[in-house]
Chain A
Amino acid sequence: MIGFSVNGKRVDLDVDPSTPLLWVIREQLSLTGTKYGCGMAQCGACTVHINGEAVRSCVAPVSRAEGKSITTIEGLSPDLSHPLQRAWLEEDVPQCGYCQSGQLMSAAVLLREKPAPTDEDIDEAMTGNICRCGTYPRIRRAIHRAAEMVAKGGAR
C-alpha cells in the first residue's frame, strides 16, 4: 500500500511502487487532466506538484509520492479562480489544449517563487514544457498578466 494525498484527499493504493505516478493519477485515480506526452521528462505535459514542487510525473515512481501531498491540474483551483487560469482565459491561450495542464502547473510554481517574473524567469521555468501548437507567446503574456493580478491583490 502506498498512501499520499491528492488535491487534499487521502488515497491508499495497492499498486506496483515502480509505476510512474502519471499513470497512477490517470488510471487508478481517474484524474485525466495530467497528460502523457513523452514518458521521459522531455515535454512537461505530465507536470504535477509534489509538496509544492513541479515534478514530471512520467518519470517519478509512485513510491516517491508516499506520505506526500500531490496537486494536479484538477486541484489548482475549484473554479478556475487561480490567477493563472484567469489570465489564461483572458489571453485565450490554449489551442488543442493538451499541453496546458502541464504549462499551468509549471507556471504556478514559477509565480509562487517569483511573483513578478521577468521574461528570462519565464524562459527558465517554462522551457521544459513543450507546446506543439505554439502557444508560447500567449503563455508568456498570460504569466505576466497573472503576476499583475496578484500584485494588484485582485487574486486570492
Chain B
Amino acid sequence: MIRRTVTRPTMNTSQIIADTGRRNFLKASVAASGGLLIGFRFPGVSAMAAESSGSTFMPNAFVRIGSDERVTVIVNHSEMGQGVYTSLPMLLAEELDADWTKVGFEPAPVDPKYNHPAFGMQMTGGSSSVWSGLEQFRQAGAAARAMLIAAAAQQWNVDASTCRTESGAVLNGSNRKLTYGHLAAAAAKLPPPEHVQLKDPKTFKLIGKPIKRLDTPEKLNGKAEFGIDVKLPGMLTAVIARPPIFGAKMKSFDDAKARSMPGVRKIVAIPAGVAVIADTFWQAKVARDALRVEWDEGSMQNFDTSKMMQGFRERAKTPGTSVRKDGDADGALESAAKKIEAVYEVPYLSHLMMEPLNCTVDLRADSCEVWTGSQFQTIDRANAAKIAGLPPEKVQLHTTFLGGGFGRRANPQSDFVVEAVHVAKAAGTPVKVIWTREDDMAGGWYRPAFLHAIEGGVDASGNAVSWRSRLVGQSIMAGTLFAAMMMKGKEYDPASVEGVDDLPYAIPNVTVESHQAEVNVPVQWLRSVGHSHTAFAVECFVDELAALAGKDPYQFRRALLQKQPRHLGVLDLAAQKAGWDKPLPKGMGRGIAVHFAFGSYSAHVTEVSVTDGQVRVHRMVCAIDCGEYVNPGIIAAQTEGGAIFGASAALFQELTFENGRLQQTNFNTFPVMRMDECPKIETHIVNNQEKSGGIGEPGVPCAAPAIANAIFAATGKRIRRLPIRMTEAV
C-alpha cells in the first residue's frame, strides 16, 4: 500500500500564475483546468477520497476552488505544530467569505512566488508566518472573491456592486444565489481585479476566533504523513555512520560483517560518513552498528565543554565588542551605593524534534524528487540540486508534515537533505535516510552555549543606575549566507545579543558587549534563538537588582518600565491573574519575568516548591501580547507549548562533550518535561490592534528566569546556571 498524498498538482501552476510577487499577484494570469486535484487534504477525508475532477478556478498562487465547492489554500509555510495550515487558510477564507467546512490546505511546491515576503526565500522561521502572510493571504482571498462576484453578476446581468457573498456563495437580492463551485469555471475566464478592498476587521467571521485546526483529524488516526512515513515503489532505507567527533574524517572502514547481513544492498562512503543501504530501516541500522569505521579524529578530539566554559569565564573579564553604550556604566558602577555581579551560564541544547531527521530522495537522470519536513525549501532545493548536478527547477521538494522543527530543519547547509542526495546517487533507487535518535542528537547544529557576566548598581534610594552585560558565545550567523544580511557589517551577531541589546528598563547607564567564541561545534537557531539565553540572564539579574534595592521584583520592574506600555501590560496581566500579592505556603515561591521577542511581549508568573533539593513547578501564568491576532486557540497552544519547552531546558537539558564526544544520547540523558512534571498553565492574551507579532517562539524565553526567580523566592538561593541544580545555587 503506497500513499503519496503530497504530490504536485497535475496542472502546470507556473503557467497559471505568472507572477505572484507581493504587489503583482493580482495581475496574475488566470486559467481554468480540468483534471485531478491531488494532494487535497480535508479534515477526516483521505487524500484519495478528496481527489475530484471538474473545473477549477485558480485566481492566484494561494487558492484553488473546484466545481465541487472545495477551497484549497496553498500554504507556503511548513506545518511543524504551530498551526499555519489553519491560521493562514483562515486569513484567505475570511476575505473570500468561504464556507469554512469546505476549506482544505495543501503544502506549496518550491517556487519563488511562495517566497517569504520579508525574507525573500521560501522558509518557515522567526515566528513570522502569520504576520508576513496577513496581507498576502487576505489579498489572495479578496481577489478570488471579486472574480466570483464578477462571474455571478455577468450571469445575472446585474451590477457587481449589488452582489454580496456569504459562506461560499454569491447572493443578489432576496432570492438569487450561486455557489462558488458553480461559478468556478466562469470566474476562471475573467481578468483578476486591479484593486480589492479588504474587510473592515469589525466584520470578521473567522479572524480572531479560536477556530479548530484543520490538520487535527488526520493526526488522530495515523493518516498524517510525516517525512519518515514517505514510501515509494522500490525504495530502500539507509542509516549512516557519522563521525563521532565534529570535524573527524573517515580513514577507512571494514564492512565485512555488515555486508553479509540480511537485507543489506550497498555500503558506501559519502562525505557525511558511511551509508548502509538496506531493504528496511532495521536491517540498515543493525548493519550500520556492525560497521567498523576508523576515523581521523581531527582537532576536536580533546574538546571538553567544561574547559570551554572556563575559557568563556576568562574571556568575560576583558572588554568585548561594543553592542550598546548608554551613558557611562563603568563610572556609574564606581559611584553606585550598592553593586552586584553575577555570571550566568547556559549549555548547548539539542532541538530534539519528536520526529528524528529523515529525507527521502528519488534521483533520476534528469530529475530529482525530495520528500522531507523542511523549514528551508529554497535553500534545501538549491543544495540538493548542486549535489544532483541538476538545475534547481529540475528538483521538486515536497514538504511533508514536520514532527517538530524548532529551527533544526532550517539548516543553512541542508545537511540532512544533501547527504540523502549523496546516498541516492549511490543507491540507484529511491532511498530514505533515517537518523536514529542518537544520530539526531549527536548530529550537531545546537543552540550555542553562552555565558553572560553582568554587573549592576543601585543608588542610595534603590534606583538602578548602572548595568554592564558581557556575553560570550558562538555566532549562529557567521559563516552562513545570512551573515551579510543579518550582521550588516557589525562585528557581533545580532542573534547572540537579541534580548539584551534592547534592554527595556529605564537605567541611565547601560553597556552591552559581546565576545564571539570560535568553537568547531556546529550551532543553529533553536526556538527563540538568542532570547533563549538572554532572557534568562537579563530577567534573573533584574531580580537580583531588585533584591539589592530591597524592593519587590514586580514593583521594581514596573518602576523601570513606565515608558514601555506593552511590557507593562503583560507584566501587570500576569501578576494580576497569578495573584502576585497572595501569600503562598511555606517552601513555595513565586517568580516573575517579562520579555520582548519576535514582535511580541510575554510575561510569566511561576510558582515552584523546592523539597530536598528537588524543584517542582506548580503553576505558570503566561500573558502574551502579539498585537492583532488570528487564532487565539492556537496562540494559547503555542504559549503553553513554549512555556513547557523553556521549562524543559531550564530544569533538565544540557549537552556536554568530553574528549570531543557528546555525552548525551537519547531522552534518558537529555530529558523532556513529562506529563507528571507538567505544571498547571494559564494563558492570558492581550486583545489590541497593535501590529501583529510572532507566536511560535515568544512563549519560551520567560520560562527559565521565572522559574529561577521563584526558586529564589522560595529558598533565598540564586540559580545562575542552566539546567537548574540546587546543589549549584548560590
Contacts and interface: CB of A to CB of B under 8 A. Distances in A.
Nearest to A131: B354
Chain A contact-residue range equals 35 or more
A94 B217 CA distance: 9
B50 interface: no
Contacts of A73: 220-222
Nearest to B223: A33
Interface of chain B: mostly helix, strand, loop or mixed: loop
A114 to B, nearest CB: 15
B437 A135 contact: no
Interface of chain A: mostly helix, strand, loop or mixed: loop
A45 interface: yes
B599 interface: no
Interface in A99-147: 99-101, 104, 122-124, 126-140
Given A40-B668, A89-B212, A134-B643, A98 B680 contact: no
B398 to A, nearest CB: 16
Contacts of B536: none
B485 interface: no
B282 A96 contact: no
Nearest to B667: A42
A133 B642 CA distance: 8
B229 interface: yes
A85 interface: yes
B219 A97 contact: yes
A53 interface: no
B215 A127 contact: no
A36 interface: yes
B674 interface: yes
Contact of B220 (A37, A94, A129, A132): A94
Given A19-B282, A132-B352, A140-B675, A94 B436 contact: no
A95 B675 contact: no
A127 B674 contact: yes
Contact of B280 (A27, A39, A43, A134): A27
Given A76-B221, A94-B220, A126-B675, A45 B354 contact: yes
Contacts of A104: 220
B666 interface: yes
A105 to B, nearest CB: 10
Nearest to A136: B678
A27 B281 contact: yes
Most chain A beta carbons < 10 A, residue from B237, B280, B642 = B280
B462 interface: no
A123 B616 CA distance: 14
Interface residues of B, number: 64
Interface in B657-674: 666-668, 672-674
Contacts of B645: 132-134
Interface string B335-377: 0000000000000000011111000000000000000000000
A98 B282 contact: no
A34 B222 contact: yes
A91 to B, nearest CB: 9
Contacts of B282: 16, 19-20, 23, 27
A151 interface: no
Contact of A127 (B216, B401, B406, B675): B675
B675 A96 contact: no
Contacts of A31: 222
B82 interface: yes
A57 interface: no
Interface string A39-53: 110110100000000
A65 interface: no
Most chain A beta carbons < 10 A, residue from B216, B642, B673 = B216
B231 A30 contact: yes
Contact of A96 (B44, B352, B402): B402
A96 B403 contact: yes
A19 B434 CA distance: 17
Nearest to B355: A98
Given A40-B668, A80-B221, A96-B405, 17 more contacts: A23-B281, A23-B282, A27-B282, A32-B229, A80-B220, A89-B212, A94-B220, A95-B637, A97-B215, A97-B401, A97-B403, A99-B354, A127-B674, A132-B645, A134-B640, A137-B640, A140-B678
29 contacts: A27-B282, A30-B2, A32-B222, A32-B231, A34-B222, A36-B434, A42-B666, A43-B354, A73-B221, A74-B221, A77-B221, A92-B633, A94-B81, A94-B219, A96-B401, A96-B403, A97-B403, A98-B355, A123-B675, A127-B675, A129-B674, A130-B674, A133-B641, A134-B643, A134-B673, A134-B678, A136-B644, A136-B674, A137-B678
Interface of B: 1-3, 44, 79-83, 212-213, 215-217, 219-226, 228-229, 231, 237, 262, 280-282, 352-356, 401-406, 434, 436-437, 633, 637-638, 640-645, 666-668, 672-676, 678, 680-681
Interface of A: 16, 19-20, 23, 26-28, 30-40, 42-43, 45, 72-74, 76-77, 79-80, 85, 88-89, 92-101, 104, 122-124, 126-140
